[in-house]
Structure 1
Amino acid sequence: MEAIPWRAYIRSMDGSSFIVAKMKTVFHPAFRRHRIKTVFLGLATLGAGFYMLCKRLGAQSQLSYESPKELQVRFQPKQEYLKVNRVFLHQMGYLLKIIIPGPISLEAICVALLTFFLLVRTRLSIRIVEIMGLNASALVRTEFRSFVRGVLSLGLIAVPASIVNSLLKFLTNFLALRFRKRLTTYAHEKYLNSLTFRRTILDRSIDGIDQRISQDIDQLSKVISEFYPSTFKPLVDVALFTHKLTTSVGYEGAAMICIYYMFSGFILRRWLPDFAFMTSKQQELEGNFRYYHTRLLMHAEEIAFYRGWNRERKLINDTFDRYYRHCMGFLVSQAVIDVFDSWLVKYGATLVGYLVVAIPVFGGVIASRGGDQVSLLTESYVQNTQILINLSQSIGQVVLLYKRLTRMAGYTSRVFELFSSVDAVDFLQEDEQRVKKGDLIEFDSVDISTPNRELMLVESLSFQVRSGEHTIIMGPNGCGKSSIFRVLAGLWPALSGTIYCPSADEIFFIPQRPYFPVASLREQVIYPDRTSDASRKGVSDEQLLSILADTDLAYLVKREGGWDAQKNWTETFSGGEKQKINLCRAFYHRPKFVCLDECTSAVSVDIEGKLYKRLIEIGCTIVTISHRKHLQQYHKRLIQMTDSNGYSAKLVGSQ
């Protein structure tokens, strides 16, 4: 039997046999061939669109997920990171392995559940469309019982639909939180470890690390978690609603919708600005603005003494103006694109939708068939309208997929730059690590320069500090005194020679600028230990009070409200108290060697002498950097630095 178009069935049937004929066509071989033809056309259309997208992204090349440091070497130009291309796919592949570490991880299970509920919601949407069509038909036929039955059915199906919608929202937000936890933990492990944290002091190629960890990772996690449901469900909806639509109006209507949206997607892609670069630049400018305010708070007192508030206000306003101008340009670009989005994806689709709905209406169905025909047309119109609304929304989201990808690329680039930077620190400077373990401090023919190697500070430095050989390093400003400690601690690389340094628990550094963590008064004294560490070592509060008494700070416990008091200690302590607290840490840890970098400049001379004597009493070997000549009496050797990259050594003191 030859295939007969669906409209021919409608024209050839009277009102009484229309429904029976329609049911027969479902099982007719010609109709089955028609369905196969329709499904094939739909798959071909989606396949062509997907191929064009993959071709645009450069996905036809084989992907091998490399580490950030390898990608940084291979794809050096920064602008390549801000496009949706092969580099973006490599970056996303690397990040996806972090946020979804395995097929049985919690994140993978949540993605599977999200997929299941997305399919359920699509099926519920189709069922709701069918019920709405039946209700409209019953209303036109004035069948009260059928109408009430339909309304009750709609109310019943709304219960699981509401639950599914709530679960989808919960799973999406939960995944965003889990993704952020994975990425943040990974960033902390990479950034806050011994070697990497020290080396990032040298690396100035990446800005706003705090901004990238605290905000960019959060934004990227939300974008990724929202991207999957906003992409997978529309694709499923397109397939199911297209099939549903073809059973009502034929494949011509579905083909018209798909062709229109492919054309819309092509137009939008040609006119779409570089949102990836705009997003990345916005985050960068916002980070700069936050940095200047943080810097202002840190140095408020110094700025007030210099009366520099006008200068700082101008600087901060200029920074915000740059951020404001960029955001205004971003908003204008989004507004222009939204105009085309609304017209092409919403209103233009409505026009095409009316043409599709009109196919069965003006195709011969409305030829005065009586009351039954009117109800059937009403049911068909309501169902097709709802199907078109859902189908248009789904295809519209698929068309705007590239827009979401460009936004994701901006955040991906900034987070990936963070990971590649902390990896490259170790990767590029691993061969410069010349510090070796020993039971003494020794520099053997060591050349020291600034990290960028532009200025040589000390040439062929050689000296030893054995246990009990207290040593003081003196010299003019800028001659490289503090750089000796930086190289010894592994913060700066040495150009040549060998350095021997005791293990971490045998040497303790006290820098020029005191640091106070957000913690209790007790943990200011025992830093970097925690209260649990002190308890494990058997150190009581009475012993800590004795340490404070050695530095004339015993009054702090009562003044600040006890050992568990927590305050902004940087603002609470005076300059002398800050330096004394730093020395209390040396009294607590009792290292074999203690390196003091001008850390008693705010302490009176008599208290300073008392502190040095106490360090010697507890068995510490002192290595001091200072300009104060009277401190030579507490040392046995003097290393005198010069302006000409040289030095000299001699015995001094009486200890």
Structure 2
Amino acid sequence: MADQPDNAAVVQPVAVAVEASSLRDQVATIRRALAGSPVRKWLLWTSVGIMAVIIATSIGQVLLNRWNQPFYDALARRDMAAFLHQLLVFAMIAGGLLVLNIGQTWLNQMIRLKLREALTLDLIDQWMRPARAFRLANAGAIGVNPDQRMQQDAAHLSDLSTDLGVGLLQSCILLVSFVGVLWELSSGFVFHIGGTSLAIPGYMVWAAILYAGIASWLSWLVGRPLIRLNSDRYTREAELRSSMVRVNENVDAIALYHGEADARRRLELDLGTVLGAMRRIYTAQINLSWVTDTYGWITVVAPILVASPVYFSGDISFGGLMMAVGAFNQVHSSLRWFINNIGSIADWRATLMRVADFRIALDETDALHDTEKRIAFGQNVDGSLTFEKLEVTSPEGCTRLADPHVEIRPGERVMITGDPGAGKTLFFRAIAGLWPWGSGRIGLPSGETPIFVPRVPYFPVGTLREVLDHPNGPAPANDAD
């Protein structure tokens, strides 16, 4: 009843290409996913809470930095009473900061948890919409290993987004808090070089910005390849895991064919691609370490070198020098946020690309291309199943029924026959609405839902009653029914 494919009508119905989407598109996609999440309000209020905690922590750290001056001045004067008093002040400030740090850690973990919940639920919801998972599986590379993108990548993206977002916010607030301190300490200093006097208001602030700016630029220049390398590694890891799952699912056939050696060879090849990707990442990380570690060692003495002119001129005491060093370190640390997190940023960028592009692909599987014909569907009030000039197109060609008009009335039994490769499976997929590419019309019984038996039956994990209720979900009937 089904004719052989007509190779003159070769088409490619599904073409989802989103791997080159921009960072702006990817961020906008994740934002849309979170906007419709039931935990959106919870995330907003928690974000407000962690911002308040960070602001309070910054105030405490400013107080701790100002504590340096009287404490070290007391040491320089050998003043035991002032020394003991400052220890008490330190205990009070440190106690408050301890409570704030614990609170920030708890809020950070909760944001991680809720963000993963929102992302994973959204991806599952988009993936499990009618026929989307099937169409995505035929959409090319983007449809390979969706389980990794929804489980591992979504979790990793949630953790990285939370840690990097909170860290960036904290660095910005600390930068604003300590720039004023550093500016105040170096605002009136005048450099005397030979017979020339040079006044640079807030020179320590400019020195910190210049120092951190050069380090950031070098780190980005050296660490940028990590974005592509991390993305490639995740792809190779997914391929290795998929190969192992495939072997595990077919151990009986492999044993019957005595194919263990070939299966091992294929797994070793996949493992080799993973190890090669990891070696390239490690090489890039070593190159990045040359930059970050060099600046790390220079930073040990850089604050003292920058503040030493003010100290040797007698404008500040030893305690003032230590306060200036502390403020410089805080400003520099805030400006160094990019350097310290270049590896994590590259990892975040690669993970964002995998999750967002997967989400975009799920949306695009529903987009119908205007240049391709679609099968029309209708309802027959008489309960019959009809096919009018039905042709189903596929990458291999076109499948059509031998009769241009077929009508199957209620109660009739009909066998669909055809040579191997004639497209019988594709024909049933078209009836189910899974494969809409083609022409003609399919008329379904009005008010009825067709039931199909797949080649490989699917039974969900659960009790016998839950299996019998599939796919409609739990039924209100009792066990006796």
For the superposition of Structure 1 and Structure 2, which TM-score range results when normalised by the shorter chain?
0.7 to 0.9
CA distance in 2, matches of 1:447, 1:100: 41
Q: Does 1:148 align with 2:91?
A: no
Tell me which of 97, 104, 128 is aligned to 1:161: 97
Post-superposition offset of 1:414: 0.9
- State the partner residue of 2:441: 498
Q: Secondary structure at the match of 2:126?
A: helix
Post-superposition offset of 1:479: 2.3
TM-aligned CA distance change 1:403 to 1:514, over 3 Å: closer
Instruction: Say which is worse superposed, 264-273 or 96-105, in terms of deviation.
Output: 96-105
Please tell me the root mean square deviation across aligned C-alpha atoms, in Å. 2.5
Cα deviation, 1:419-449, whole Å, max 9, x if unaligned, reads: 1111111113697252333322211110123
TM-aligned CA distance change 1:310 to 1:505, over 3 Å: farther
Aligned residue type for 2:44:
A
Post-superposition offset of 1:242: 1.9
- State the partner residue of 1:330: 281
Aligned residue type for 2:238:
G
Tell me which of 166, 183, 190 is aligned to 1:246: 183
Post-superposition offset of 1:104: 7.7
- State the partner residue of 1:237: 174
8 Å contact kept, 2:112–2:158: yes
Tell me which of 217, 231, 253 is aligned to 1:266: 217
CA distance in 2, matches of 1:286, 1:308: 23
8 Å contact kept, 2:213–2:335: no
Aligned residue type for 1:260:
Y
Aligned residue type for 1:92:
V
- State the partner residue of 1:46: none
Post-superposition offset of 1:142: 2.8
Post-superposition offset of 1:400: 5.2
Tell me which of 158, 162, 175 is aligned to 1:225: 162
Post-superposition offset of 1:467: 1.0
CA distance in 1, matches of 2:232, 2:335: 30
TM-aligned CA distance change 1:203 to 1:435, over 3 Å: farther
Instruction: Say which is worse superposed, 267-276 or 492-501, in terms of deviation.
Output: 267-276
8 Å contact kept, 2:219–2:342: no
- State the partner residue of 2:389: 445
- State the partner residue of 1:378: 318
- State the partner residue of 2:30: 95
CA distance in 2, matches of 1:199, 1:504: 25
* Map 1:146-545 → 2, pairs under 5 A: 146-206=82-142, 207-250=144-187, 251-344=202-295, 346-364=296-314, 377-399=317-339, 404-428=344-368, 432-438=374-380, 439-450=383-394, 452=395, 454-459=396-401, 461=403, 462-502=405-445, 506-530=449-473, 532-533=474-475, 536=476, 538=477, 540-541=479-480
CA distance in 2, matches of 1:488, 1:526: 23
TM-aligned CA distance change 1:503 to 1:233, over 3 Å: farther
CA distance in 2, matches of 1:457, 1:153: 84
Q: Secondary structure at the match of 2:389?
A: strand
TM-aligned CA distance change 1:413 to 1:503, over 3 Å: farther
Cα deviation, 1:250-308, whole Å, max 9, x if unaligned, reads: 31122112112222222333333322211211111111111111111211111111111
CA distance in 2, matches of 1:100, 1:475: 50
8 Å contact kept, 1:444–1:460: no
- The aligned length equals 446
Cα deviation, 1:209-240, whole Å, max 9, x if unaligned, reads: 11111111111111111122211221222222
> Relative contact order (C-alpha < 8 Å, sep 6+): which is higher?
2
Post-superposition offset of 1:523: 2.6
Q: Secondary structure at the match of 2:313?
A: helix
8 Å contact kept, 1:282–1:326: yes
- State the partner residue of 1:35: none
Q: Secondary structure at the match of 2:435?
A: coil
CA distance in 1, matches of 2:374, 2:234: 34
Aligned residue type for 1:457:
T
Aligned residue type for 1:482:
T
In the alignment, structure 1 segments of 5+ residues that lack a partner are 1-71, 82-86, 366-375, 544-655
* Map 1:598-637 → 2, pairs under 5 A: none
Aligned residue type for 2:120:
T
Whose Rg is larger? 1
Post-superposition offset of 1:522: 2.8
CA distance in 1, matches of 2:446, 2:461: 27
TM-aligned CA distance change 1:203 to 1:460, over 3 Å: farther
Post-superposition offset of 1:201: 4.2
Aligned residue type for 2:457:
P
Aligned residue type for 1:358:
S
8 Å contact kept, 2:222–2:287: no
Q: Secondary structure at the match of 1:340?
A: helix
Aligned residue type for 2:466:
E
Aligned residue type for 1:493:
P
TM-aligned CA distance change 1:205 to 1:282, over 3 Å: closer
CA distance in 1, matches of 2:437, 2:185: 78
Tell me which of 45, 48, 51 is aligned to 1:109: 45
In the alignment, structure 2 segments of 5+ residues that lack a partner are 1-14, 188-201
Cα deviation, 1:386-445, whole Å, max 9, x if unaligned, reads: 222222222211455666543322111111211111111111369725233332221111
8 Å contact kept, 1:440–1:465: yes
Structure 1 consecutive aligned stretches of length 4 or more whose deviation exceeds 6 Å: none
Instruction: Say which is worse superposed, 315-324 or 436-445, in terms of deviation.
Output: 436-445
Aligned residue type for 1:477:
P
8 Å contact kept, 1:199–1:491: yes
CA distance in 2, matches of 1:412, 1:423: 17
